[in-house]
Amino acid sequence: MPRRSPLVIGHRGAPGYRPEHSRSSYELAFAMGVDAVEPDVVASKDGVLVLRHENEISGTTDVADRPEFAERRTTKKIDGESLTGWFTEDFTWAELATLRTRERLPKIRRSSASFDDAQPILRLTDLLEMVRRASAEHGREIGVVLEVKHATYFAGIGLDLVPLIERDLRATGWADGALPLIVEAFESTLLHRLRKTGIAASFIYLIEAKGKPFDLVAAHGRAAPKYADEVTPVGLDALVGTVDGISVNKRMLLASDSTLVADAHARGLRVFTWTCRPENAFLSAPYRAGGGKATFGDYESEWGVIARTGVDGVFVDHPDLGVAFFRG
C-alpha cells in the first residue's frame, strides 16, 4: 500500500548545507529527521566502493589542486559522454583517502562551500556503519537508498560492481534486512544481477525524462528502448516482477496530465522522485522567484504538486525543509 506521506530521503546527505557525501552532510541529515539517506557509489582502482556522485571528482574534491596527482588528469568516455578530469578508478583507496571534499555548486551554495577541504572522502562501509549508529542514537530506523553509478562502464574496465557491493553489504550486516535497504540504478541489468545475490533489499529502477539506459545501449545499440518507453503502460507491465518500483525525474510528475504514479501503483510498483530543491536554479519556471539562482523560490507550491501525485518517496537536498513539508 502507498504511504500516507512519502519517505523523505536525504539526497547525498544534506547537501543544501554541507558538501555532498561528506560525513557532516550525512550527520546533519540524520539529525534533521530523514527516513533514509542516499549515497552514490563508484569504485577505486583497488576495488573499494567510495561515495561520490560521479567517478570524475574534480568538482567535488581538492584533487585538481594536488600537484602529486596532476599527471592523472585525463579524458575518458563515460556512458557515451567525453569527460576530462580525475577519475576514481585511477586512484587507490589510500590515495583517495588523502583528498578532501568540496561543495559542487559553490556559486549557489556559498555557505556549504565554507566547509570545503575539511573532510575526507567516505567509503560505502563507513556510511553503512554511520547509519547503523545513527539509528540507535536517534531512536528510529534510518534506511539507505544505495545508488550504483556507471556499472556497465566499470565492468568494461574490469571492475564489476556487483561482487563489490555484495561484499560490503554482507561485511557490514546490511544484506540481511535488519535495516531498510533500497538499491537503485539507471541500469536495470545491474539490479537484476544484484537481486540474484539474495541481498535483502528493494530494487528501484531510475528513469530519466529523456535518453536511453546505457546498459541497454551497450547491448542493443540503436534498438535499445528509450527511458520514456519504460513508463508507458506496456513498459510498466514489463517491469512488474523484475523491480520493486521506479524513481523518476520530478519533471515527469509535474506535467499536468501525468498519471505515472497512479499507473505504477496499479501494478504494485512504488514511485520515488528526484530532486526536491528550493533554489530558483532547480525549480520549474512557474515557481521561481526574483533574486537569482541561489534564492529560494515558491518551492512549497512545486512540492505540493509532487505530493498530490501520491509519490512514495522524495529525494531532498535540505532535509529540514523536506521533513517539515512532506510530513506536515
Tens-digit pLDDT profile for residues 239-257: 999 999 999 999 999 988 8
Return all residues near 281 (Cβ < 8 A) that are at least 6 apart.
105, 108, 293, 294
Question: 97 is written with which cell numbers?
Answer: 583517502
CB atoms within 10 A of CB 235: 17
Tens-digit pLDDT profile for residues 12-29: 999 999 999 999 999 999
Tens-digit pLDDT profile for residues 265-278: 999 999 999 999 99
Of the candidates 232, 151, 248, the one whose C-alpha atom is nearest the C-alpha of residue 193 is: 151
Mean pLDDT value of segment 218-229: 95
177: left (phi over 0), alpha (psi -120 to 50) or beta: left
Q: Are 92 and 114 in contact (CB under 8 A)?
A: no
Q: Are 279 and 296 in contact (CB under 8 A)?
A: yes
* CA separation for the pair 260, 247 (Å, rounded): 11
Return all residues near 170 (Cβ < 8 A) that are at least 6 apart.
none
* CA separation for the pair 181, 174 (Å, rounded): 7
Domain map of the chain by residue range? 7-55+121-326
Number of helices (H), then strands (E), belonging to the chain: the values are 14, 12
Q: Are 326 and 8 in contact (CB under 8 A)?
A: yes
Q: Are 252 and 261 in contact (CB under 8 A)?
A: no
- Name the pLDDT band for 2 (thresholds 50, 70, 90): very low
- Name the pLDDT band for 325 (thresholds 50, 70, 90): very high
Point out which residues pair with 315 in neighbouring strands: 9
* CA separation for the pair 297, 278 (Å, rounded): 6
**265 φ/ψ angles, rounded to the nearest 5 degrees:** -60, -35
Name the superfamily (CATH) of residues 7-55+121-326.
Answer: Phosphatidylinositol (PI) phosphodiesterase (3.20.20.190)
* CA separation for the pair 254, 287 (Å, rounded): 11
The DSSP secondary-structure symbol of 80 reads: T
* CA separation for the pair 79, 245 (Å, rounded): 23
Q: Which residue has the cell 594536488?
A: 66
What pLDDT is attached to residue 256? Answer: 80
Question: 43 is written with which cell numbers?
Answer: 569504485
What pLDDT is attached to residue 297? Answer: 98
Describe the chain by its helix, strand, coil percentages, rounded to 5. Answer: 40, 20, 40
Mean pLDDT value of segment 160-173: 98
Burial class for 264, CB neighbours closer than 10 Å (0-12, 13-18, 19+): buried
Tens-digit pLDDT profile for residues 113-152: 999 999 999 999 999 999 999 999 999 999 999 999 999 9
Return all residues near 136 (Cβ < 8 A) that are at least 6 apart.
none
What pLDDT is attached to residue 1? Answer: 40
What pLDDT is attached to residue 198? Answer: 97
Give yes or no for a cis peptide into 197 (omega within 30° of 0): no
- Name the pLDDT band for 328 (thresholds 50, 70, 90): confident
Q: Which residue has the cell 536554479?
A: 281
